[in-house]
Amino acid sequence: MKKLIILSILIIYSFSTSVFSKNDLYEKIDLFGEVIENIKKDYVDDVDQAEMMDSAINGVLQSLDPYSSYMSPELFNEMQTDTKGEFGGLGIEIGMEAGVVKVISPIEGTPAEQAGIKAGDYIVKIGGEQVQGKSLMEAVKLMRGPVGTTIDLTIRRKNVKKPLEFNIKRKIIEVQSVSSEIISEEKNIGYVRLKSFNENSDNQFLKSIKKFEKNKKIKGYVIDLRNNPGGLLTQAINITDFFLDYGEIVSTKGRKISETRKFFARKGDEIKGKPLVVLINNGSASASEIFAGALKDHKRAIILGENSYGKGSVQSIIPLRNGGGMRLTISKYYLPSGKSISEVGVTPDILVEETENDFQINSEKDNQLNYAINLFNS
């Protein structure tokens, strides 16, 4: 019990020194100890006190924002940060909202996207197990499993009364982050679909742009960031820099001086001022929002589609002495205008909502892409 009280002191103390007086702090510590004692004596079932304390720690972190969380030693060892373009699972980028797992974006070409999972969906059950009350990392762990096995997801979707059931087969997810083509021969428009910002995206992206630029007839470009959940900050900066001659791209602000920085474009627009349309939707998050927001603020591109997700923060993975770890928000992104992306996102210059019937990105029924093409003069 003493260990529990000591741990509770550490938890409360770290978040209270600027808020409580010493007497208030001691009262809260005593209250926490009293709650633990009553659970131990009177709760209907036996409780694993170590698990209970893990939940308490995670509760503190998740009360800060949807992206901070605690990982037990077992979970911490299993989790591998996805920045290398290959990972196992269903192909969903997820976050937390009001204690519920929310889909930030399904990744194109993955089992989740093919099954019909959409940005903004809420995952309420994984394999028949209720998700509410679990941490983000615990939810991720439940969705992962041996390649070829299936998992049932129960989804709540906006404007749909009944829960939706999906059975999805797990597989190794290989993300080819860039694809490109000429989408309108008569208008000579270069189309680049950027699915994620992983460690090699900038090289793939620039290679596509340079290939197009050899075609002297190219009039302009459509950059498609729909359902792009983001990735590496450095990649967002590098790719945005391809289209700007000068000016700020993004700034980060945190409590530490090292986390407060500004990033600027270097001289040289790779497409020499040609018209640029950027497509975004509710599944465009993080690095995608930096790219779209910076080009919007500099009036370098027309942003078209739907409001982006609103993930404007940077997380760091911090190892802990027990072998576990914590994912902690250490800074926030700010656009050149000084606006924060967090919980607000990027608002498109032209609002075009996707059609509900059989909508599919880069198909004949893609009304957003068709709208973008029509912006270019014949």
Q: What is the CATH number of the domain that holds 130?
A: 2.30.42.10
pLDDT value of position 186: 81
CA dist., res. 370 & res. 367, Å (int): 5
CA dist., res. 221 & res. 352, Å (int): 18
Q: In the listed set 125, 140, 174, which residue is the last one of a domain according to the structure?
A: 174
Query: 71 and 131, same structural domain?
Result: no
Domain containing 28: what range?
A: 2-75
CA dist., res. 263 & res. 238, Å (int): 10
Query: 107 and 65, same structural domain?
Result: no
CA dist., res. 292 & res. 344, Å (int): 13
CA dist., res. 89 & res. 100, Å (int): 20
pLDDT value of position 83: 39
pLDDT value of position 85: 45
pLDDT digits (tens, 9 = 90+) for 284-332: 999 999 999 999 999 999 999 999 999 999 888 899 999 889 999 999 9
Query: 217 and 166, same structural domain?
Result: no
- Whether the CB-CB separation of 228 and 105 falls below 8 Å is answered with yes
pLDDT value of position 128: 87
Query: 276 and 185, same structural domain?
Result: yes
- Please give the positions annotated as active site: 286, 297, 311
pLDDT value of position 359: 80
- Whether the CB-CB separation of 71 and 58 falls below 8 Å is answered with no
Q: In the listed set 174, 209, 231, which residue is the last one of a domain according to the structure?
A: 174
Query: 202 and 228, same structural domain?
Result: yes
CA dist., res. 155 & res. 125, Å (int): 7
Per the structure block, which two tokens stand in for 81? 């940060």
pLDDT along the chain (378 residues), means of 10: 46 50 79 87 86 84 87 76 55 83 87 91 91 81 85 92 93 85 87 92 94 88 95 94 96 91 95 96 94 97 96 90 91 94 94 83 90 86
If residue 328 lies in a helix (H) or strand (E), which one and from where to where?
Answer: strand 325-334
* Beta-bridge mates of residue 193: 179, 224
Q: Is the alpha carbon torsion for 111, 160, 99, 52 positive or negative?
A: negative
Query: 275 and 199, same structural domain?
Result: yes
For 172, the 3-state DSSP assignment is: strand
**In the Cβ-directed half-sphere of 244, how many Cα atoms lie within 13 Å?**
27
pLDDT digits (tens, 9 = 90+) for 7-18: 444 454 455 445
CA dist., res. 295 & res. 284, Å (int): 15
The domain tally of the chain equals: 3
The answer to the question of residue 341 being in a domain is yes
Q: In the listed set 75, 105, 133, which residue is the last one of a domain according to the structure?
A: 75
- Whether the CB-CB separation of 262 and 148 falls below 8 Å is answered with no
